[in-house]
Amino acid sequence: MLVAAGITALGLLSVGTITQLFGYRMGGTIAIPVLAVYTLKNVWMLPIFVLSTIVAYLGLWVVKQRTLLYGRDELLVAMGLGSGVPLFLLVGLGALIPESLRSVVFIGSILPGLAAYNYHQLKPEYRIPDLLTGTGLYVGLVACGWLLITPELATTLGEMTPPALYTTTTDVAVYKNAALDTDLEPTILARPVAVALFLLGLLISERVRGRYGLRIGLIALPLLAIYALASKWLVVLYAVLLGFSFGLLYLVHYVTLLYGRVLISITTAFALIAAVPITLFFPITRGLSAYFVAILAGIGAYNWHVAPGPKRKLFVPLQLGTFAVMLLIARATGRILPRGFPQQFGLPQVVAIVLVALVCLVIVEYHTVYQPSHENVFESSILSGGDRE
Question: Tens of pLDDT along 201-244?
Answer: 989 999 999 899 899 988 889 999 999 999 999 999 999 999 99
Handedness of CA 260, 262, 266, 271 (dihedral sign): positive
Provide the number of structural domains found in the chain.
2
Structural domain ending residue among the three candidates 145, 162, 184: 184
DSSP state of 218: S
Using the CB atoms, write b or e for 118-130: b if 16+ within 10 Å: bbbebeeebeeeb
Please indicate whether residue 163 or residue 93 has the higher confidence score (pLDDT): 163
Q: What is the pLDDT of residues 236-282, one digit of tens each?
A: 999 999 999 999 999 999 998 888 889 999 999 999 999 999 998 88
The reply to whether 219 and 365 lie within a common domain is: yes
* Helix, strand, coil percentages in the chain from 3-state DSSP, rounded to 5: 75, 0, 25
The reply to whether 209 and 225 lie within a common domain is: yes
What is the spatial distance between Cα 131 and Cα 143, in angstroms, rounded to a whole number? 18
Beta bridge mates, 339: 231
Using the CB atoms, write b or e for 140-151: b if 16+ within 10 Å: bbbebbeebbbe
Structural domain ending residue among the three candidates 129, 161, 184: 184
At position 236, the amino acid (one-letter code) is V
The reply to whether 162 and 79 lie within a common domain is: yes
* pTM of full prediction above 0.85: yes
The reply to whether 169 and 231 lie within a common domain is: no
The reply to whether 176 and 249 lie within a common domain is: no
What is the predicted pLDDT for the residue at 276? 92
The reply to whether 169 and 202 lie within a common domain is: no
Structural domain ending residue among the three candidates 134, 167, 184: 184
Average pLDDT over residues 142-159: 88
The reply to whether 129 and 169 lie within a common domain is: yes
The reply to whether 81 and 218 lie within a common domain is: no
The reply to whether 100 and 204 lie within a common domain is: no
The reply to whether 318 and 299 lie within a common domain is: yes
The reply to whether 244 and 166 lie within a common domain is: no
* Structural domain boundaries enclosing 3: 1-184
The reply to whether 112 and 222 lie within a common domain is: no
